[in-house]
Structure 1
Amino acid sequence: AGRAEGAFTLQSVAQPMRPIASTATKCGNCGPGYSTPLEAMKGPREEIVYLPCIYRNTGTEAPDYLATVDVDPKSPQYCQVIEPEDIHAKCELAFLHTSHCLASGEVMISSLGDVKGNGKGGFVLLDGETFEVKGTWERPGGAAPSGYDFWYQPRHNVMISTEWAAPNVLRDGFNPADVEAGLYGSHLYVWDWQHHEIVQTLSLKDGLIPLEIRFLHNPDAAQGFVGCALSSTIQRFYKNEGGTWSVEKVIQVPPKKVKGWLLPEMPGLITDILLSLDDRFLYFSNWLHGDLRQYDISDPQRPRL
C-alpha cells in the first residue's frame, strides 16, 4: 500500500493517443519518441500505458485485446489510494510485498514486518470491490516470524510462505555479519488454507533467503519450487503420503571466486523464478552472475539445465 504512485485502474476500451510534448528529442525520422532512456526520463510522466492481453488457444469468442491502463493520479478513474495508516491501524503490518487475488474476491498481500520494522510475516486482506482494509488473513497472533512471498493450492488445503529478513535488517544494506547472526530467513511456513494457521515449519539446510515460491500450475499438483537467493539453490517442496510436507535441494549454482568484492566468493544470487504454463520448464534469474537459466523439470526431482 502506498500513495498515488502504486495504484491504477484497468480499462479495455479504446482511448485516443495523447501527443508527446513537442520539445521531445525524436529518434531520427521515425515519429514520436526519445533518443535515449535518459531523455525519456526528462519527458512528461505517462498518463496512459498500453497492455497487450493475449489468450492462449482460444477462438473469436475470447479474442486477444489491447487494454489501456490509467496511471494518471489526477484522473477521476484512477483507483483509490490505500493509505499506510489504514494498514497499520487494522493489521499492525507494514512493508508489504506480494499480492494475490483470492477466489473469494478478496485481495491478499503479504508483509515483511510490523510498523516498527520488526519481522512479521502476516497477510493483509482487502475487499476486492471497495478495496477497504478488512484486517489480517491469519488468526490474531498467528503471523510467521518473517515474511516475503506466498502461494497456495486450495485443493490440498495448503499455503506456503517464504521469508527474507526483518525490515530493520534490510534498511542498512547487506552485512555478512547479519548472515552469521542468523538474521536472514531459512524456513518455509506451511499454512492450513481453511483455518489460516501455520501447521508446519520447513528448515532449509542448504537454502538461505528463500524468496520467490511457485507451485506447479496444475491445480492438483502437490509440489513446487522456491528460489533461495544467497545460497543460490532451488528447493523442491512436496507433499508426503501422510499429508505433511518436505523439501529437498534440486539445483545448486556454484559460487565464483572473486577479488575486491564483499565476499571472497560471489553467489549467483537467484532472484525471481518462473514456471512455464505447461509445467515443463523452470526459469530463474542468476542475478550476480548475470545470466538467465532454463531447466527442464519434466522430472521435478532432477531438473536439467
Structure 2
Amino acid sequence: MGLPQVFAPFKRDPTFYPSPKMAINSPPEDLAYVACLYVGTKINRPDYIAVVDVNPKSETYTKVVAKVELPYTGDELHHFGWNACSSSLCPNGRPNVERRFLVVPGLRSSRIYIIDTKLDPRKPNIVKVIQPEEIKKVTGYSRLHTVHCGPDAIYISALGNEVGEEPGGILMLDHYSFEPLGKWEIYREDQKLSYDFWWNLPNEIMVTSEWATPTTIENGLNPEHLKEKYGNRIHFWDLRKRKKISSITLGEENRMALELRPLHDPTKLMGFINLVVSLKDLSSSIWLWFFEDGKWQAQKVIDIPAEPAEGNLPDILKPFKAVPPLVTDIDLSLDDKFLYVSLWGTGELRQYDVSNPFKPVLTGKVKLGGILYRADHPSGNKLTGAPQMVEISRDGRRIYVTNSLYSSWDNQFYPEGVKGWLVKLNANPEGGLDIDKEFFVDFGEARAHQTRLRGGDASSDSYCYP
C-alpha cells in the first residue's frame, strides 16, 4: 500500500551516508572546489574559489569552469568546508539541512564567506559575508582555519584571540543563519595553542592540535622560535561538556602538531597526527593516538628523516645543509586502509597501508616538485612548490594534491616562486600510486591550497554508524 497523497515524506540529502562503508559506494565526484590565493605574491588581487571539472567524460575535464571572486583583498584562503554533511544523520543531528554551502574563512583576515553551490554547482555565488569584527566581538577569536560540519552547528578553529595571541580555540556558527554563536570551550584548562580539530561523535570526544599563534607565524618561520613558540601537544576533550580531559606531548623534540585524521570507523577511538619537524634532526613523524587501558595514549609509527643537501638550498635551510621532509598534511581513506602523507620539503607524496595502524607499511610514492627532487609533472609541466594539501575521493581511487603551504612560508622555502597547480594521483586498491598524466590544472600566479569535492570527500564527513 502506498503512502497517502497528503503525506509528503522528507527526503534527506542524497550525499549524506550513515556509515563510511556506504559513502565509499557513492557516485564519483564531478567537480572540485579549490582555494586559490594571491596573498604573498606580487599581485594585489582578491583570492578566489576555483571550480574545476574533474569528470573524465566531460568536454571541460581538467578545466577551471568558473571562479568565485572574493570582494576583498588579503583574506588568504586556506582551509574551508561544507555547512552540513553525514554527521547530520547522527542521533543528535539535524537531518533537514543539506550539503549546499561552502563555508570559506580567510586565515589572515578572519572574514567568512558563505558560498551557495546548489542553484548551479558549476557557478556558485557568495550569499553572505561575516566580517572579522563580528567574529572577534562574539567569539574573541581570529585567524580562522579548519571548518567541520557538526551535527548541531558549524565548527571552526581559530589560531588566536582577537589580537593574534593565545589562546586559540574553536568557535561555532548557527546551521541556518550562519551567525557566530561564541566560543566552544567551557573548560580549556592549560590549552593555549590551536590548529586542527576533529572528533569521534558516538563517543563524544573532541581532539585538537597545535601550531603557533598568528603573531608567531604570519611573518614567516624563524627557526629560533621553534623550541619555545611552536606546539607539540594533542588535546582530548569531552565533546558534550566542552571540557579538556587529557593532553599528550608528542615527543619533547618535535614541533608543529598539525593535521588530525581519526579513523572513520566510529567504533575505533584512534587516529593519526603529523609532527612537521624535529629539533634534533629535522625529521618528520606520524603518531597514532588511541584510547587504551582507560587512558589516552600516543605512539610514533612513522619516522621520515631529513636528506643531506649542499647546493641550491633556500637561505632558511643553508645552515643545516639538509632538506627536511616537512610533512605538512596527511589524509586517510574512508576505508581506513591507506594514509597519504605529503612531504612538502623534499617533494614526495607517500601512501602507507595502515590496516594495522600500529605498523604502517609504505606501499607507494611519487615525486612532485620539491626543494630536493624538483620533479616535473609527467605531462611536461613544471612544478613549483611541492605536494601539500591532499584530498581523497570517497571510493579511495583518486587523490587530489595542491602545492601551497602558507604565503610567507612559501616565499621562504621556495623563493623562486610558487605557482598554483592541482594534480591527480590514481591509487591501486591493493596498494600503489601513479600520477595521472592527463590531469594537470595550472592556476598561474595564484597559489592553490585546499580542495573540496562536490558531494563529499575523505575529510569532509563524520559518521555515527559502523
**Which bin holds the TM-score, normalised by the shorter protein?**
0.7 to 0.9
1:295 is aligned to 2:342? no
Given the alignment of the two structures, is residue 257 of structure 1 paired with residue 304 of structure 2, yes or no?
A: no
Q: Specify the code of the residue in structure 2 equivalent to 1:266.
A: V
What amino acid is the match of 2:229?
L
Q: Moved runs in structure 1, 4+ residues, more than 3 A?
A: 5-8, 69-72, 140-143
Amino acid in the other structure paired with 1:94: S
Q: Which amino acid aligns with 2:198?
A: W
Counterpart in 1 of 2:165?
Answer: 118
SS at match of 2:245: strand
The separation in 2 between residues aligned to 1:186 and 1:269, in whole angstroms, is 15
The 8 Å contact of residues 187 and 242 in structure 2, kept in 1 or not, is answered as no
Q: Are residues 47 and 165 of structure 1, via their aligned partners in 2, closer, same or farther at CA, if it must alter by over 3 Å?
A: closer
Unaligned runs of 5+ residues in structure 1 are: 11-29, 35-39, 49-65, 73-77
Query: In 1, are the aligned partners of 2:210 and 2:234 still within 8 Å (CA)?
Result: yes
Q: Does 1:82 align with 2:130?
A: yes
Structure 1 vs Structure 2: percent identity of aligned residues?
34
Match of 1:235 in 2: 287
Distance 1:175 1:253 in 2: 22
Superposition pairs of residues 15-30 of structure 1, within 5 angstroms: none
- Distance apart, 1:47 and its partner CA: 5.2
What is the rounded CA distance, in whole Å, between the counterparts of 2:131 and 2:123 in structure 1? Answer: 19
State the Cα distance separating 1:6 from its structure 2 match: 8.0
Q: Does 1:187 align with 2:233?
A: yes
How far 1:115 moved relative to its partner?
1.5
Task: Tell me, in whole angstroms, the C-alpha distance in 2 between the residues paired with 1:165 and 1:123.
Answer: 15
- CA distance change for structure 1 residues 47 and 214 in 2, over 3 Å: closer, same or farther? closer
Q: C-alpha deviations, 1:163-203, integer Å up to 9, x for none?
A: 101111102211111013x2111101111111101111110
Residue segments in structure 2 that go unaligned for 5+ positions in a row? 1-45, 52-58, 70-117, 279-283, 363-466
- Could you tell me how far apart the structure 1 residues matched to 2:210 and 2:186 are? 19
Q: TM-score, normalised by structure 2?
A: 0.49
Residues 291/239 of structure 1: CA separation in 2 closer, same or farther (3 Å cut): same
| 1:173/1:103 CA distance change after superposition, 3 Å | same
* Structure 1 residues 141-220: aligned runs within 5 Å: 144-180=191-227, 182-205=228-251, 207-220=254-267
- Which structure has the highest strand share of the two? 2
Query: Given that residues 234 and 248 in structure 2 are in contact (C-alpha distance below 8 angstroms), is that contact kept between their aligned partners in structure 1?
Result: yes
Return the offset for 1:144.
2.6
8 Å Cα contact 1:111-1:120 kept in structure 2: no
Q: CA deviation at 1:110?
A: 0.5
Q: CA deviation at 1:157?
A: 2.3
* d(CA) in 1 for partners of 2:334, 2:66: 34
Residue 267 of structure 1 is matched in structure 2 by: 324
Q: In terms of Rg, which structure is larger?
A: 1
Q: How many residues align?
A: 247
Deviations 1:202-244 (A, max 9, x none): 10115421111010010111111001112310000000121x2
Q: How much is the aligned-residue C-alpha RMSD, in angstroms? A: 2.8
When residues 283 and 221 of structure 1 are mapped into structure 2, their CA distance, relative to the original with a 3 A threshold, is: same
| CA-CA distance at 1:139 after TM superposition | 1.2
Answer whether contact 1:121 1:143 (CA < 8 A) is retained: no
